[in-house]
Amino acid sequence: MFIGFDYGTANCSVATLENGKPRLLALEGDSPFIPSTLCAPTREAVSEYLWRHFNIKPNDSVGEQLLRRAVNFNREEGIDVEPGDLRFGRSALATYLEDPEEVYYVKSPKSFLGATGLRDVQISFFEDLVCAMMANIKQQAESDLQEDILRAVIGRPVNFQGIGGEKANIQAESILLAAAKRAGFKEVQFQFEPVAAGLEYESSLAQDKTVLVVDIGGGTTDCSLIQMGPSWQKKDDRRESLLAHSGCRVGGNDLDIHLAFEQLMPLFGKNSTLQRGIAMPIPQFWNPIAINNVAAQSDFYASANRQVLQQLMRDASEPDLIARLMKVYRETLGYQIVRSAEEAKIALSEQTQFSARIALADEVLETSITTAELSDAIASPVAKVAELVNDALAQAETTPDAIFMTGGSARSPILRALLENTLPGVPIVAGDYFGSVTSGLVRHAEKCFR
């Protein structure tokens, strides 16, 4: 049995073919989508759980070293890693929100895979994270199918992380491949996510077209200009149909982070000053919510930063605001703030104003956000999406017959307006925002593994 596997930044999904049509499999309850989140008692519990309860061993000496350290740490802390201690998806988020300070929580590990400067032990840990998520998804999908799944086509962005170039792409894909093999997939191939989304759209075409596929996911945006239609559908080699590719690490997470920074972090002291009238240091308000940046998260939550924050609170003209920032530090609340921004972003796609709420232990913070404020806050990542679109068009030196939008953030009216202004008169087609890539991947898998 083979599947198409969209290991996404925001959500994961898998699909099989039934009577020639993709069917997404249930991964969390009856839902075919499981958020890309994981929660564990400790960071070290991930590697031990993988070995102890998934029966998945390390595949190299670095992984073995990581596992030994994890087991020793948990033993010294008196932590028994029990079945069910590792939570995924909505269950992981619920566990984190219940007591953020007492658990290890990670969202969107795919965002980290292409990061530059990672040590071998960090790469090994990310491999464990991805492997645990993939093993859980594989188990859930096999439960739905009542059949072993041994082969998969996995989606990947054109570029995992722009600053690392092709080296970052190779690193990220190698982590995905190693994790998938350890999770139990015997054969694995990759396909660009926008190409996969295009393959699903192509199945509906009655005539050939040149299509700009814009896949705006949680962590990356990819643009592909593709010739597609009846004359292309039967061809195994589609390289001639791919006219242009562009992509970088900007997606829904970036929209959420920028919105949180501009509209929510003032509740924690951003834009306030020290008693001497000097502005507060910006990194202290950016780093806690930069959930897709390993270095930023490490800097903010480092033990040395506690003293810096305490000094800022003593020197602040509004110390109560910085006291809230100290709560973010102590209770690892960055994810919670970004989640509030995400809720606001989604709501503002259908209404002009939204009241965002953040629950702390002793108070509930609330602020009103308008669509105009959202537009201003996300101007920078939206401009990067515009650059990607223009880059793909310049490469191909042609105008598409249609634009196919997919990915969770493709629902944004702001991004839709961007495409309408860039290519006036070109019709925009919206696919299944969350399922188009998965469906296209399984169509490609049929050609790979038939």
| pLDDT at residue 292 in the model | 84
Residues 317 and 393 placed together within one structural domain of the fold? no
What is the number of other CB atoms lying within 10 angstroms of the CB of residue 265? 23
Q: Is residue 89 part of a domain?
A: yes
Tokens standing for 278?
Answer: 């000097």
Q: Say whether both 122 and 240 belong to one domain.
A: no
Tell whether 293 and 279 lie within a shared domain: yes
**pLDDT number for residue 151:** 97
The predicted structure's pLDDT at residue 2: 96
Residue 138: burial class (beta carbons within 10 Å; 0-12, 13-18, 19+):
buried
Between CA 81 and CA 102 the distance in angstroms is 15
Dihedrals phi, psi of 240, to nearest 5 degrees: -70, -25
110: helix, coil or strand? helix
H or E stretch covering 204? none
Which amino acid is located at 235 in the chain? Answer: K
Tell me, what CATH number does 43's domain have?
A: 3.30.420.40
In a domain, 443, yes or no: no
Based on the domain organization, do 216 and 365 belong to the same domain? no
Q: Which residues of 101-128 are buried (b: 16+ CB within 10 A; e: fewer)?
A: eebebbbbbbbbbbbeebeeeebbbbbb
pLDDT for 419 equals 94
First and final C-alpha spacing in the chain: 10
| Buried/exposed code over 409-425 (b: 16+ C-beta within 10 A; e: otherwise) | bbbbebbbebbeeebee
Question: Tokens 């188009």 identify what position?
Answer: 436
Q: Find tokens 């299944």 and name the residue.
A: 432
- Has residue 441 been placed in a domain? no
Q: Report the distance separating Cα 194 and Cα 186, nearest Å.
A: 25
Q: Are residues 269 and 361 in the same domain?
A: yes
Own/partner long-range contacts of 307-315 (Cβ < 8 Å, ≥24 apart): 308/284, 309/284, 312/269, 312/274, 312/280, 312/281, 312/284, 315/274, 315/275, 315/276
Domain assignment present for 43: yes
SS3 of 340-355 = HHHHHHHHCCCCCEEE
Q: Are 184 and 203 in contact (CB under 8 A)?
A: no
Which sign does the torsion angle of CA 411, 414, 419, 421 carry? Answer: positive
Query: Does residue 438 lie in a domain region?
Result: no
Tokens 């790979």 sit at which residue?
448
Examine residue 100 and state whether it is found in any structural domain, yes or no. yes
* Residue 245 shares a structural domain with residue 278: no
> What residues have CB less than 8 Å from 245, skipping those under 6 apart?
158, 192, 194, 222, 223, 224, 392, 395
d(C-alpha 159, C-alpha 111), whole Å: 11
For residues 371 and 388, membership in a common domain is answered with: no
Q: Is 20 exposed, middle or buried (0-12, 13-18, 19+ CB in 10 A)?
A: exposed
Judge residue 307's burial from the number of C-beta atoms within 10 Å of its C-beta, 0-12 exposed, 13-18 middle, 19 or more buried: exposed
Same domain membership, residue 422 and residue 388: yes
**Closest by CA position to 408, among listed 11, 68, 100:** 11
Q: Which two tokens stand for residue 313?
A: 């609170």
Q: Do 408 and 217 touch, CB atoms closer than 8 A?
A: yes
Q: What is the pLDDT along the chain (450 residues), one digit of tens a residue?
A: 999 999 998 899 999 999 989 999 999 999 999 999 999 999 999 999 999 999 999 999 999 999 999 999 999 999 999 999 999 999 999 998 888 888 999 988 998 898 888 899 999 999 999 999 999 999 999 999 999 999 999 999 888 865 668 898 999 999 999 999 999 999 999 998 888 888 888 888 999 999 999 989 888 898 999 999 999 887 777 778 889 989 888 898 999 999 999 999 999 999 999 999 999 999 999 999 998 887 899 899 999 999 999 999 999 999 999 999 999 999 989 999 999 999 999 999 899 999 999 988 788 999 999 999 999 999 999 999 999 999 999 999 999 999 999 888 888 899 999 999 999 999 999 877 788 999 999 999 998 897
**Amino acid type, 76:** E
Report helix angle 436-449 to 193-202, nearest 10. 90
- What CA–CA distance (Å, rounded) separates 54 from 58? 12
* Statement to judge: residues 48 and 148 lie in one domain: yes
Cα distances from 69 to residues 38, 55, 60, 65, 398, in angstroms, run 20, 18, 15, 6, 55
Task: Find out whether 254 and 292 touch, Cβ atoms under 8 Å.
Answer: yes
- Please identify, among 377, 392, 417, the residue that sits at the C-terminal boundary of a domain: 377
Query: Residue 299 belongs to what domain range?
Result: 253-377
- CA dist 294 to 70, 107, 114, Å? 20, 12, 11
Q: Is residue 306 part of a domain?
A: yes
**Who contacts 20 (Cβ-Cβ below 8 Å, separation ≥6)?**
none
- Quick one: 268 and 151 in the same domain? no
The number of domains in the chain is 3
Same domain (yes/no): 321, 396: no
Residue 198 belongs to some domain of the structure: no
Are 168 and 115 in contact by the 8 Å Cβ rule? The answer is yes
Q: Is 173 found in the same domain as 48?
A: yes
Q: 90: which 2 tokens?
A: 């909505």
Q: Where are the alpha helices (DSSP H) in 115-217?
A: 120-145, 165-183, 193-202
